[in-house]
Structure 1
Amino acid sequence: MKTLRLLSLCLLGWAVFSWANLQLRSHPRLDEDDLLRVRLPRLVQLAYSASDPWLAANLNVFRSLMVDINTREAETYRVQGQLQVDAAFFNPWHEDNYYLAAAILPWNGQLEAGQEVLLRASNARQWDMWPAFYYAFNTMYFEHDMEKAGHWAEIAATRNPGNAPALRAMAAAWYERGDDPRLAMDVLEKMYEGSRDTNFRSLLAARYQRLQGLLGLRQALAAYRAQHGENPQQLEQLIGYGDLEAMPKDPLKAGYILDAVGQVQLADHIKKQTAR
């Protein structure tokens, strides 16, 4: 008897679901086929997919692929972001989903959704460098969190030995762009010790040396401020303060500069921020 009641309830629920689905067919639709407006709850998506989560993921990715690349409508990308996050929930291993998320979502105002897709893919596809790399790039370019970007670039490096030197060089550059020279120097030193590539070790040593110069200048700046109560107009005024006996040389030839608030920075980083 209980089995019969359960079966009846299931049939009734399916009947209501089918009736609601039929009603949608007569609902007014937008003329533009490449716009997105509807994102169903995940349980309903599963019902449409016969309780197959991988099929549900495929359907969401297929809908996302149908969006015209020339579309600039914010609501469409908001819904697409939701659909791709749902696809990552159902199947975080889905390759097309994370490629699409990396290429489309962050550039169209859906950084958070894109990063969630990439993070799920990075954690699931531990043999694949690309979701970790794209996650690192977005963290650097959009979020400006250099420490986290460097961390994920290093993770990407561990997953592809062939590209590891290039990825670790990228990680080193991103770490270097953080605002704590000591932290960056510590990371660069560990990377140097763990590398056997001569060219890469030379690059790490150069980056370490330029950060030593940056640290020395900042220590001299702190001493100058303590004595004068103001910032210097030129870096050369820092000579003789702290332990600074001469202007440090940047082995990468970019040099050092005072930024708008009087802090010493690597000159090429200031130029990149201004260009951005």
Structure 2
Amino acid sequence: MRSFIILSISLLFFCMNLMLSHFIAKDLKRDFSESYLLLNKAALIAVPRDIHFGTSDMNFVNTLSFIGYSLDVGRGHINRKVALKVYTSLDAITTYNPRYFDPYYVANAFLTWDVGLYEEAITLLKRGMVHIDDWRIPFYIGFIYFYFLNDNLNGAEYLKIAARHPSAREYNLLPLLASRLYYEEGKYELAIILLREQLRIMKDENMKKAVASRLKTLQTAYEISKAIDQFRLKFGRNPKSIEELETAGLIPKGLKDSAGGKFYITPDGKVRSESELFPIKKKLLEERRRM
């Protein structure tokens, strides 16, 4: 009887996935994402304990399909409403299958950049640290604290944990970056490492395109930041604009932010962009727009 129940539920989820794929391919309506069946913790309670893991796996497949569809509709971006549905689903999945790594990297990749669900992502990732021995989980936590929340102390602590893990030895920049978090340095190197790792393990094409776009923008920002350092050494001051770097021949003309924002240089010599990829304070952005 138990085997029959397991088989029946598996077939049900399989059929649901086929139907979702069919409707998405037909693009019957733009708001179809509202019809996705993503289970929350309350729904999983009703599922027999013996098949919690299997149900969590199937729910994760649905979550990936939902994210992929939303990215396609949103041209590489998801909104807060979508992200909250993703968080609820990932929370259920990691509650009943906390040793499943994939939901944790999805939480880091898609609850932060566009929508700012930083604390929610950290909550899930800290759960993962308890159950999974993988350097990437404390690395993700440290990245969120440093890059998005400007919390260098917590960022450094978690990056040090990641750096001490034996499997992180190929990333020999991690100890150096952890020590530099007490300064406003290392941000681009850290982000580039993160996004390259995400690209390596992602399979969904829509997700990969979104991450690749972020990576391209951050690599460009990194090149500009190095050019600012060269300008400072040569002229003894910070450049006032991107155009000044172009005139000095330190960067090629026409560098663009693939996320849709415009690069600029702050008075203290930092490269920033008006896009969502750069977690600058709202007041600073408003001041920039008045310039």
Q: TM-score if structure 2 supplies the norm length?
A: 0.48
Larger Rg: 1
Tell me which of the two structures has the higher relative contact order, counting C-alpha pairs closer than 8 angstroms and 6 or more residues apart.
2
